[in-house]
Amino acid sequence: MVTFSTNATQFMSLALKLARKGQYGVQSNPMVGCVITKNDEIIAQGYHQKFGAAHAESNALAEINHQANDATLYVTLEPCSHQGKTPPCAQTIIDSGAKEVIIAMLDPNPLVGGKGVAMLEDAGIVVKIGLLESEAKYLNRAFIKKMTTGLPFVTCKIAMSLDGKTAMSSGESQWITGEAARLDVQKLRANHQAIMTGSGTVLADNPSMTVRLNDVNVKPLRVVVDGKNQITDTTLNIFSTDAETQVFNMSNSKLNNAGKLVLSDILSQLAAQDINSVLLEAGPGLIGAMVDAGLVNEFIIYTAPILMGSDANSMVDLVIKKMDDKLSLNIQDIRMIGEDIKITAALK
């Protein structure tokens, strides 16, 4: 088992921090950071900033004119070995004269998948793998999910009261959470390539489903699941020019034996459009159907310090009649956002 020094761990931690800076620009590419050291001193650093632009390794090497003789590179993802929109990073590292490359995780992309490591080792470069691997995998969990399963990673966002209610029975729901939580939702939207909702929510609330942040210019695809072909009014906010919208209905999606849309087929179609991450913002019906189909990977639940009572709708329509059938969640993070509680939890 490879062991790493305290300094090495700190350098990789910085590389992961750099990688996160690409969250709004890399789109379907992974977030990657790179730190270059010599004699345990940082001499360069970089990250993948934008889809189609230079990768992290190239950006870091550019800071030292691609001269890394006897240096060590800390990279959060295995350097690529193939020619894509940019040259292969493994060859760029070889040409720089680096002596060692420490990698957090291997690339799940079958075009790479160990080939980058093999190129480096064949060139006489020492390669070590696995430093802060779990943190690196969590950072790029959406990229990994699509590469390994062919489906995007789905995060379900819910705003609810302490008693688990999301709207009054009349449909009234604004606002359950406070301003700080609503701003956090905008950042959450900006971190996803698509925002999915149902036709019922569109007709009841007429939402825009866009990112409204002054310093961020991203436009996730708006996805509407319309199993009853109800969406015909093109003046609805969901069809504004602020972002593109795709409606999935009975004419363009697979149907099951009951005549309902196959939700996994919708996700497959999105994956075919190079979408890694989907934010589900919907009513309890669609959320329940997605959970029941095993298509939700993560919940982000904003819980307000209010009670809405029995004449209100629950967060999810899910028929569970026995305790043995309950769904267990793994809580990954709990924090305060203003006066509200933000819970991040994954399905076990």
Nearest-angstrom CA–CA distance, 284 and 167: 10
Q: Between helices 89-96 and 115-122, what is the axis angle to 10°?
A: 20
- For residue 100, how far is the Cα from the chain centroid? 30
Nearest-angstrom CA–CA distance, 125 and 123: 6
Nearest-angstrom CA–CA distance, 95 and 51: 24
Q: Helices (H), strands (E): how many in the chain?
A: 10, 15
Phi and psi angles of residue 328, each rounded to the nearest 5 degrees, phi first: -95, 140
Catalytic residue among 57, 135, 172, 179: 57
Residue numbers in the known binding site for NADP(+) are: 159, 175, 201, 205, 283-289
Nearest-angstrom CA–CA distance, 29 and 77: 11
Query: Catalytic residue at 57?
Result: yes
CB 109 within 8 A of CB 145: no
Phi and psi angles of residue 268, each rounded to the nearest 5 degrees, phi first: -65, -40
Residue numbers in the known binding site for Zn(2+) are: 55, 80, 89
Residues 6+ apart with CB under 8 A from 209: 189, 195, 197, 222, 237, 238, 243, 281
Nearest-angstrom CA–CA distance, 57 and 45: 8
Residue numbers in the known binding site are: 55, 80, 89, 159, 173, 175, 189, 201, 205, 212, 281, 283-289
The label of the residue with tokens 């070889």 reads 94
CA distances from 77 to 11, 157, 319 (A): 14, 28, 41
CA contacts within 13 A on the Cβ side of 19? 25
CA distances from 62 to 48, 78, 170, 320 (A): 13, 19, 59, 57
Residue numbers in the known binding site for substrate are: 173, 189, 212, 281
Catalytic residues: 57
